[in-house]
Structure 1
Amino acid sequence: MHDQIITQLNALSQGNESYATFNRRIVNTKMDVIGVRVPDLRRLARELAGNMSAADISRLLAAPSNLYEYVLLCGLLITRAKISDEEAIKLTRQYLPRVDSWAHIDTFVEKKRRFAGDIWWEFALECLQSSEEFTVRYGVISLMANFLDESHIQRVFAALRNVKHDGYYVKMALAWLYATAAVNFFELTLSELENGQIDAWMRNKAHQKMRESRRFTPEQQEIIARKKGMAN
């Protein structure tokens, strides 16, 4: 199955040499990049996932490969296969050590249509405490995708105060989450950014992302601009 998938990926990459060069810079991976576009990867994942069990995906994840698109495809298979939440989390534990790019995380994380109790919440919190940069980013992006709601927002902020990893891709994910949270929880998020537990760089980056967004009213943008100016 591994060899068949590599053949399919190579076929999808034909004629994409310039895109491969461009994307290698964007995703900042040490892996080989052959230039398969994300829509094609998603399409292939949908085609393959219908007949795949958790054990099949686990075997693919265990197969040695230094191909960026192969690893990402394995992640997409996890999200599309007809498997339980418990199986998906077990496979995600196997997937995360394979990744080396923010895109391996951001393309993989999707809003869940259903939940088995608090299993995904607890898994996200567990990932926040990892020593691995992209595992922590996964936890942050998962919270952003699924838990920025009335019943979770205070607990999300409380959990993020305990994140110790200071890697660039963790801090960028945190800034992105705060900027996203501010859309529906504007005053609460601004207050959280000023609680003294968030460093100036991350606070400034969150303000910058808010300023770049079109999801805030002119009045809110004025407040953000003042906050950003005070931070500089």
Structure 2
Amino acid sequence: MSDIARELAELADPEYRTFQAKLVPTVDPGRILGVRTPRLRRYARDLARTDPAGAQAFLGDLPHPLYEEMNLHGELIGLLARTPDEAFELLDAFLPHVDNWATCDLIKVPAFRRDLPAVLGRLRGWMGATGPGTEYVVRFGVVQLMELFLGDAFEAGQLELVARIDRPEYYINMARAWYFSFALIKQPEATLPMFERPVLDAWTHNKALQKARESRRVTPERKAYLQSLKVPTR
């Protein structure tokens, strides 16, 4: 066990380990220590600040055997990448090894906001990835598009990037539904026509409507209208 793995083990909560294992069913429970996310993030910040060389060496040692090591890796990318290009390189090495939604979704890259057009170009590539090991590459692209491009940087054509993803994996399609639920809330004028003349597969269409209706930001009248847009499934 590496020094970092031992330090993570010292932060673990055995009771939380059982709970965490239920949240990430694609991960072997034997790989999970049970480190709570706030503790993991504090540890990541401390490591990046006090031992940047050690942190960089850790990023070069893939794949990691422990679930928490993978989460630490994702946190460190956001902390250490100073430019989008640096983040792209680190993510291209890391994302094919990600095997669960939680590791995928915790990654935040502040450097992305320095060049959103370049980031959008890379997101297109990630969302279009195919082949083995790309499930969470695609999901990461969708989640980042949702987090970075549904505000001032939104353009209607971005909706099509997610709409035309044609993959069977559950965690990709959950991300697509999540994206469209937020798009219905934040960019309704551009998004509603895609539900009024359905263009998505029925499962993603209905799940997006459901998640949008669950939001407190949606009025009762709009919730009723969204309910009326539900389509039949086979």
Please give the TM-score of this superposition, normalised by the length of structure 2. 0.88
Q: How many residues align?
A: 227
Verify the 8 A CA contact 2:77 2:91 in the aligned structure 1. yes
2:213 is aligned to 211
Which whole-Å CA distance do the structure 1 matches of 2:57 and 2:142 have between them?
24
Q: Conserved in 2, the CA contact under 8 Å of 1:57 and 1:74? A: no
CA distance in 1, matches of 2:63, 2:76: 17
The reply to whether residue 26 of structure 1 matches residue 55 of structure 2 is no
SS of 1:165 mapped into structure 2: coil
CA distance in 2, matches of 1:96, 1:160: 19
Residues 142-157 of structure 1: matches in 2 within 5 Å?
142-157=144-159
Alignment pair present for 1:52 and 2:52: yes
Is the CA contact (8 Å cut-off) linking 1:109 and 1:138 kept in structure 2?
no
Tell me which residue corresponds to 1:171: 173
What is the correspondence of 1:23-172 to structure 2 with a 5 Å cutoff? 23-31=20-28, 32-50=31-49, 51-52=51-52, 56-57=55-56, 59-81=58-80, 83-109=82-108, 114-116=113-115, 118-131=117-130, 132-172=134-174
> Structure 1 residue 187: deviation in Å?
3.5
Counterpart Cα distance in 1 of 2:83 and 2:63: 25
Aligned residues: CA RMSD: 2.2
Amino acid at match of 1:188: A
Q: Which amino acid aligns with 1:47?
A: D
Q: State the AA in 2 paired with 1:36.
A: V
Instruction: Check conservation: 1:71, 1:99, Cα contact below 8 A.
Output: yes
Deviations for 1:25-82, whole angstroms, at most 9, x for unmatched residues?
Answer: 10123341010011111111111113426x9536434245320000110110010125
- C-alpha change, 1:153 and 1:66, in structure 2 (3 Å) is same
The worse-fitting range, judged by mean Cα deviation, of 21-30 and 168-177 is 21-30
Distance 1:112 1:170 in 2: 24
User: Do the aligned partners of residues 151 and 7 (structure 1) sit closer, same or farther apart at CA in structure 2, a change above 3 Å counting?
Assistant: closer
What stretches of structure 1 of length at least 5 have no aligned partner?
none
Normalised by the size of structure 1, how large is the TM-score? 0.89
Matched-pair contact (CA < 8 Å) for 2:47–2:55: no
- Equivalent pair of 2:105/2:143 in contact (CA under 8 Å): yes
Rounded to whole Å, the distance in 1 between the matches of 2:186 and 2:58 is 41
Shift in alpha-carbon separation, 1:139–1:92, aligned structure 2, 3 A? same
- Superposed CA offset, 1:73-129 (max 9, x none): 011001012532211110011110221000011111456673235221111111001
Deviation sequence 1:137-179 (CA, Å, 0-9, x none):
0000010010113543312112123312221101000100111
Calculate percent identity across the aligned residue pairs: 33
Q: Give the aligned residue type for 1:18.
A: E
* CA gap 1:8/1:22 in 2 versus in 1, 3 angstroms: same
Secondary structure (helix, strand or coil) at the match of 1:148 reads coil
On the 8 A contact 2:77/2:109 being kept in 1, the answer is no
1:162-214 deviation per Cα after TM superposition (whole angstroms, max 9, x unaligned): 31222110100010011111112223212123444311111010011012111
Unaligned residue ranges in structure 2 (runs of 5+):
none
- Asked whether the equivalents of residues 111 and 146 of structure 1 are also in contact (C-alpha less than 8 Å), the reply is no
Aligned partner letter, 1:190 = L
